[in-house]
Amino acid sequence: MDNEVLNWIGNALNFLILVYLIRTNIILGSFNFEQSLIATFGLFVAVLIQLYNIKK
C-alpha cells in the first residue's frame, strides 16, 4: 500500500470517528460504554496507521 493512501485512510477514519462521536453525543446527550469502546478502538487504529506512516 502507498504511504499517501494509508495517510488518507487514517485521516478519513479520524474524521468519521469525530463526526460519529459528535452526532451520538448530541442525540443521546451522553456516551454509553459501547460507543466509547468503538470510538477508542477507531482512534487507536487511526493512530497506528499514522505511526506506521512515520516509520516508513
pLDDT of residue 31: 58
Range of the domain at 17: 3-55
Q: Which pLDDT score is estimated for 15?
A: 83
Summarize pLDDT for 8-55 with one digit per residue, the tens. Answer: 888 888 888 777 777 776 666 555 667 777 777 877 887 888 778 777
Contact 15, 55 (CB under 8 A): no
Number of domains in the chain: 1
Cell of 10: 487514517
pTM of the predicted structure, to 2 decimals: 0.43
- Asked if residue 4 has pLDDT above 80, the reply is yes
Distance CA 38, CA 41 (A): 5
DSSP symbols for 26-45: HHHSS--HHHHHHHHHHHHH
From first CA to last CA, the distance across the chain in angstroms is 11
